[in-house]
Amino acid sequence: MRFYYQNGMGDTGYFSENNLIRALFSAWNIESELYLLNKGIKKINWNEKLFDQAKIIFSPMDDNELNSELLRDYGYRMEDGEEYREIIDIKTGEIVKYEWSDVVQLV
């Protein structure tokens, strides 16, 4: 899978990742929106509409309801945990665990 990330401070970039959860937490780590590039798209063409080239799958500044809607097609939802927001596997109801050492340092 090929991803594009963008945050409010102007940081943008592309990265390839086969693990969706790792991609989510990597973008979340730098408070970036995460987009999954459509098949065949290698780089965003800014002369065309972004949503014709990529699908947003995570928006860290938006609420759990929106993020759950974005993540539903991938089998996840987001909800408030005891300390932080958590990603939940819809089928099992389990909290998706991650190791910060596995997070890609995007910036």
| Strand bridging mode 85-89 / 32-37 | unpaired
d(CA 28, CA 20): 12
User: Quick one: tokens of 81?
Assistant: 């945990």
List pLDDT tens digits, range 32-74: 999 999 999 999 999 999 999 999 999 999 999 999 999 999 9
pTM over 0.85: yes
List pLDDT tens digits, range 73-82: 999 999 998 8
